[in-house]
């Protein structure tokens, strides 16, 4: 038992050291090219984007910092991002973050919208299933994000938790700077109603997510 825990501690230490080393190399690699040169390549790769699409090529400050630190910014930058992103979160004016979970299921299932191959006017989906397990019956889910199975049930359908989930969907980085999850409300990728609906899909007792 004692030997086992020593072994465990040694392994943990090794892992920590390994991580530190990896981070150090990652930072070195990130620093080795002048961002101006990268920008020139980016310009040359998208010479004449469609009207209104240039903003998608240019990075905002958060994207820039997260890219430079490979999603692992030092504490000061981490806090700056959290404060900046938190300031963008707008809660629904009517005071409720819960919409219709059935409509929310469509938002979670739909992966189209915003792609250059989409017909104009395509209603965008949140594509949550690309990254998350949600309802038990849906087996076609991705694993880039954690499982959200029984999300509301685990949180006892608590109102404050619903609000927190809405904020997460509106701007994932207001909770977790440099998260891989898209900032759906910040980019106006989803509408307020869609975000309410998908919050209900997570938090409603009737939703298949909680069955």
Binding site for ligand HEC (CB under 6 A): 108, 126-128, 130-132, 144-146, 148, 165, 168-169, 172, 176, 179-182, 184, 198, 202
**DSSP letters of 10-74?**
HHHHHHHHHHHHHHHHHHHHHHTS-HHHHHHHHHHHSSS--TT-HHHHSPPHHHHHHHHTTT---
Q: Contact at 8 Å (CB) between 98 and 204?
A: yes
Cβ 87 to ligand HEC, closest distance in Å? 18
- What does the DSSP 8-state code read for residue 135? S
Q: What are 81's two structure tokens?
A: 């991002």
Q: Please, which residue, 115 or 119, has the CB nearer to ligand HEC?
A: 115
Burial (Cβ within 10 Å: 0-12, 13-18, ≥19) of residue 70: middle
| Binding-site ranges for another protein (CB under 8 A) | 29-30, 32-33, 35, 37-38, 41-42, 44-47, 49-50, 53, 56-59, 63, 66-67, 70-71, 111, 114-117, 129-131, 139-144, 180-183, 187-189
Cβ 55 to another protein, closest distance in Å? 9
Cβ 184 to another protein, closest distance in Å? 9
Nearest one of 103, 59, 57, 88 to 183, comparing CA atoms? 88
Cβ 85 to ligand HEC, closest distance in Å? 11
Nearest one of 187, 169, 181 to 99, comparing CA atoms? 169
Cβ 5 to ligand HEC, closest distance in Å? 29
User: Which partner in another protein, ligand HEC, none is near 18 (CB below 5 to 8 A by kind)?
Assistant: none
Q: Please, which residue, 68 or 181, has the CB nearer to ligand HEC?
A: 181
User: Which partner in another protein, ligand HEC, none is near 198 (CB below 5 to 8 A by kind)?
Assistant: ligand HEC
Q: CA-to-CA distance for 98 and 86, rounded, in angstroms?
A: 20
């Amino acid at each position: 038992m004692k030997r086992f825990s020593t072994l465990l501690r040694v392994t943990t230490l090794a892992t920590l050291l390994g991580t530190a080393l990896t981070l150090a190399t990652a930072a070195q690699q990130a620093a080795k090219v002048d961002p101006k040169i990268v920008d020139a390549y980016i310009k040359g790769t998208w010479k004449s984007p469609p009207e209104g699409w240039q903003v998608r090529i240019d990075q905002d400050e958060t994207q820039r910092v997260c890219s430079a630190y490979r999603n692992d910014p030092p504490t000061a930058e981490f806090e700056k991002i959290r404060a900046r992103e938190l300031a963008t979160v707008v809660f629904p004016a009517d005071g409720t973050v819960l919409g219709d979970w059935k409509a929310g299921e469509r938002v979670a299932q739909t992966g189209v919208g915003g792609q250059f191959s989409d017909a104009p006017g395509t209603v965008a989906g949140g594509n949550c299933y690309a990254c998350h397990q949600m309802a038990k019956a849906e087996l076609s889910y991705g694993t880039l994000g954690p499982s959200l199975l029984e999300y509301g049930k685990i949180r006892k359908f608590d109102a404050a938790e619903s609000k927190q989930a809405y904020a997460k969907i509106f701007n994932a980085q207001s909770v977790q700077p440099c998260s891989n999850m898209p900032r759906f409300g910040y980019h106006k990728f989803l509408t307020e109603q869609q975000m309410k609906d998908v919050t209900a899909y997570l938090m409603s007792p009737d939703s298949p997510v909680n069955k």
